[in-house]
Amino acid sequence: MSVTPTAMRPPVAADAPRTVAKRSSRSDWRRLWQAAPFVLPNLLGFLVFTAGPVLFSFAIAFTNWDLQRSVPFRWSGWENFSVLMADKDFWLYFANTVYFLLGMPVAIAGSLALALLLSQKLKGVVIYRTLFYLPSFTSGVALMILWKALYNPDFGPVNAVINSVSDFLHLGVKAPQWLLSTANLVGLDVEKVAFTGKQFGLGARDAIIIMGVWTAIGGSNMLLYLAALTNVPQELTEAAELDGATNWQVFRNVTWPQLAPTTFFIVVMSFIGGLQGGFEQARVMTNGGPAGTTTTLSYYIYNKAFEEFQIGYASAVSWVLFSIIFAVTVLNWKFGNKETTY
């Protein structure tokens, strides 16, 4: 296979535009045929295993498709969506999903702080970077089981530390029951989307958020920030330092604006990941409990589709979730992207 670079092609006479167009079109086709075997496996995989199912799920969201054949199949129009609007569980689990996003700013700030530390010229910095990245290439399920043990209310190390500190300082603080408790930091009610003082505290949702923040701080966000930090022009930093700027002023006025595109990307991806997430944690650590407080929309979709077999309804929930993610991404793009231009 040989492809003639454009620069090496013979000059084209100005009076022969049609011939050139024909020849170029023929050569385009030839090049396409040559490239097709390389692209096709991936493209076919995408069409069959991604695009096809996505479109199929969109279609079945407008049906009552149930894996139990005693329910006759029919097109149900917008019925699934209107049922969903009145579905108490959907809103409860949506609230849980949104609640889990509370950890996002902390995780992003933590990743940035860690990246700033790891971008220093330290001895053995590569080892530190690897250590902090460890949670990202360790099995998620193993980590969740480990955290489940850490959160053990009586014998877990987390509460052991809390109790020791509380005893030492005579604070009289009662350690949280973590994965067994329905309490949460904003007092979200268990049975309806409302706030109540009774639920104020630390519970299963917060336990999962803390674990998520721990995992995310040393994860791909940190790597992205590390890469972005190496791209901050050294001359800008040096100029600011020569002008007498403090470290904070250099960070605030030079480094941070330069990191804006990366931050924007991380925020968008974190929103998408956060809204889609929660399934593994619920499945491994809590079974969605206690009392459904760690059930997120993704776990609800699984339950509806594969435990209650309402595939049509589950697809409708999936598409509503997609719409929410899409809307949030558009909003992010509209308002967050402004910072990225200079």
Partner 1 sequence: MKAVFTGAFVILLLLSAMAWSILPKPVEAGKTQIIWASDDNPARRGQIDGFNKIATDAHVSLDPNNTGLQKVVVQSLAGVGPDVFDSGDGTLNVLIDADLAWDVTDELKKRGVDIEKDSWKAIQTYCVREGRVYGIPSNAAANALFINKTIFDQQGIPYPNGPWKWSEFLPIAQKMTIRDDKGRATQFGLLIDWWLWPQFVIQWGGRIYSEDGTKCVIDSPEAIAGIQFLHDLIYKYKVMPSPVEEAAMATQGGWGSGTITQFGEGQKAAMAMGGRWWLCTLRNKKQFPDLKMTVCEAPYFNRRVFYGYGRATFINKASPRREDALKFLLYMAGPNYNALINKQADALAPIIKYCYKPEVLFDPEFPEEDKNQVWLDAMRYAEPTPTSPFVNYQAAQRILTRQLDLVKNDQKLVPDALRDAAREVNAEIQKTIARNPSLKAKYDAILAKRPVATL
Let me know: does 337 contact 264? Beta carbons within 8 Å. Answer: yes
Question: What number of chain residues touch partner 1 (CB under 8 A)?
Answer: 30
180 in contact with partner 1 (CB under 8 A): yes
Least distance from partner 1 to the Cβ atom of residue 99, Å: 17
CB of 141 to partner 1, least distance (A): 11
* Residue of 36, 51, 55, 291 that binds partner 1 (CB under 8 A): 291
Span 135-164, contacts to partner 1 by CB under 8 A = 145, 149, 152-155
Q: Is 72 in the site for partner 1 (CB under 8 A)?
A: yes
Q: Nearest approach, Cβ of 156 to partner 1 (angstroms)?
A: 8
Contact call for residue 303 and partner 1 (CB under 8 A): yes
- Beta carbons of 185 and 207 less than 8 angstroms apart: no
Farthest CA pair distance, the chain: 94
215 is a site residue for partner 1 (CB under 8 A): no
Say which residues have a Cβ less than 8 Å from residue 18's Cβ, sequence separation at least 6: none
- By beta-carbon proximity to partner 1, the closer residue of 90 and 132 is 90
Member of 18, 69, 170, 334 binding partner 1 (CB under 8 A): 69
Rama region for 233: left / alpha / beta (φ>0; ψ in -120 to 50; rest): beta
Candidates 47, 48, 49, 83; CA nearest to 63 is 83
DSSP codes of every residue in 47-107: IIIIIHHHHHHHHHTTB---SSTTS---B-TTHHHHHHHT-HHHHHHHHHHHHHTTHHHHH
Residues 6+ apart with CB under 8 A from 251: 116
Judged by CB under 8 A, the chain residues 229 through 288 that form the site for partner 1 are: none
Neighbour count for residue 15 (Cβ, 10 Å): 7
Residue with smaller CB distance to partner 1, 150 or 269: 150
Q: Give whichever of 43 and 146 is closer to partner 1, judged by the CB atom.
A: 146
Q: Judged by CB under 8 A, which stretch of 8-16, 39-47, 173-181, 324-332 contacts partner 1? A: 173-181
81 part of the interface to partner 1, by CB under 8 A: no
Neighbouring C-beta atoms of residue 23, cutoff 10 Å: 12
The residues of the shown chain that bind partner 1, judged by CB under 8 A, are: 64, 66-72, 145, 149, 152-155, 177, 179-182, 190-191, 289-292, 303, 306-309
